[in-house]
Structures are given as C-alpha cells and as structure tokens.
Amino acid sequence: MLKLTDAKVELDKQLILSLDEIELAYGQFNVLAGPSGAGKSTFLHLISGQLKAKQGCIHWKDQALEQLSDNDCSRWRNQEVGFIFQDFYLIPSLSALENVILQHSFSNWRTSTTLKQQAIALLKQFGITNINKNINQFSRGEKQRISLARALSGNPSIILADEPTASLDKENAKFVIEQLKEQAQRGKFVLAVSHDPLVIEQADQTVYLERGVIQHESTDAA
Ligand SMILES: Nc1ncnc2c1ncn2[C@@H]1O[C@H](COP(=O)(O)OP(=O)(O)O)[C@@H](O)[C@H]1O
Ligand SMILES: [Mg+2]
C-alpha cells in the first residue's frame, strides 16, 4: 500500500499539491487523471522521493520516505522504482540495450551479466530484436517498448508511468497498457498518470486531481 497523509508540496512558494489522504494498493492498475498543470507529474516526483514534501507523510508499505536520508532515498528509488515517460528520455547516442542497462551502471561499477541477460530478455519479450541498433533508428512505438524494458529491468516493485501513451498510436498504446496491467497482476505497484480514455477505462482505481487537490476517486468494481 502507498499511503499519503496530509502531504503538501510547494514550488517557488506556491502550493502545488495539497493531499489530505490517499491510499493506493499494490497489485492493481492505478491511474492518476486530471488536466494539464494539475500537479500529476509533481505527484510522481513526490511519491518517488525526488521531491520533498513541505509537510506530511508518504509511506510505501513499511517505508516512510521522510525518514530516509537523501542518499538512502536515492538508493531506495534505484532499487524499487521504474519510470516510464511520455517522451521516453532515452539517450540518443546509445543502442537499445545500452539504454536499458545504463541506469544500473551508475550504481554498480560494472553491469552484471544477470542484468544484461535480463535486459536482453525484456527487449526480446517486447519485440525489439535488433538490440544493438542506435536508439534513433527505432519508431516511437518501439522506443516506448524500450523504455518499458528499461523501467522493468532490475525488477523494481513500483512502476510509475507519466503519460506513457500520449505520443503513441492506438496499437502501441494498447500494448503499453497491457504490459502495465500485467505488472500489476504480478503484484507490483503500478501507477500511470494519464488523461487518455484508453488508459482510464482499464484502471482498477482512478484518482482525479485538479489544481493540486483530489477531486474524487473511482474504483472499478468489475
Ligand atoms: N519546478 C517548478 N517550479 C515552480 N512551479 C512548478 C515547477 N514544476 C511544476 N510547477 C508548476 O506546478 C504545477 C503542476 O505541474 P505538473 O505537476 O507538471 O502538472 P501536470 O503534470 O499535471 O501537467 C503547474 O502549475 C506548474 O507550472
Ligand atoms: Mg505532467
């Protein structure tokens, strides 16, 4: 369970998020919806410890983020969190495989064979065959599948996706949603920020955010 209690975020002395209480479960497909500027990306930065709350508590299972030092918080994030972005944030000068394993080379002086094998397996699973090709030679749909592989490598327990389907055609969007749902079914914490109806209709739980405040929640009882 992710539980936020009375969490407030200020940026440039402006209150960006003001969240009384939110509980989101592992093992389901969570969606955070809301208009542009509502604070959705800021919410992802907050729950992944990239941004400190002015006040309040962010508890992941039994880990309270506010109790971690900056170093421990980075370590926790590297181990536990995988990110997927609308614009991929892939490194243009590297190959598909290098992009997937790059993040691990910051924490280990040498990427382990296991991580490399896992990266290759993930890319293959997502239909990326020419893994040594430069990232610029892949289509947008392929790039998002490569960033999915990057997010899942190292087996993080938390998958956070910021508008992961916004720049994709319908077929590729559906593929990304299916993969996120599958990760949830495996018991992981999965949260996608989106206003894409394709994503929202697949959600088990949707939280609507407007001007930094939760408007309402809906749970798919089906
Ligand atoms: N670094 C920052 N400094 C000041 N204001 C920011 C910063 N980042 C975002 N904001 C503001 O916070 C609000 C929420 O932004 P964001 O979380 O990116 O919204 P969303 O992802 O829902 O579009 C916006 O009004 C934005 O201008
Ligand atoms: Mg955003």
Task: Name the residue at shortest CA distance from atom 27 of ligand 1.
Answer: 37
CA–CA separation, 97 and 122 (whole Å): 10
- Report CA(104)–ligand 1 centroid distance (Å): 29
Which residue's alpha carbon is nearest to atom 9 within ligand 1? 42
The model carries a pTM of: 0.94
Which among 200, 102, 194, 93 is positioned nearest to 147, based on CA atoms?
A: 102
DSSP 8-state assignment for residue 95 = B
pLDDT of the chain, 222 residues: tens digit per residue? 999 999 999 999 999 999 999 999 999 999 999 999 999 999 999 999 999 999 999 999 979 999 999 999 999 999 999 999 989 999 999 999 999 998 777 666 566 788 899 999 999 999 999 999 999 999 999 999 999 999 999 999 999 999 999 989 999 999 999 999 999 999 999 999 999 999 999 999 999 999 999 998 788 755
Q: Where are the beta strands (DSSP E) in 67-172?
A: 81-85, 158-162
Task: Give the three-class secondary structure for 24.
Answer: strand
Name all residues whose Cβ lies below 6 A of ligand 1: 11-12, 16, 34, 36-42
Which pLDDT does position 106 carry in this prediction? 66
Q: 2-219 architecture in CATH?
A: 3-Layer(aba) Sandwich (3.40)
pLDDT confidence of residue 102: 87
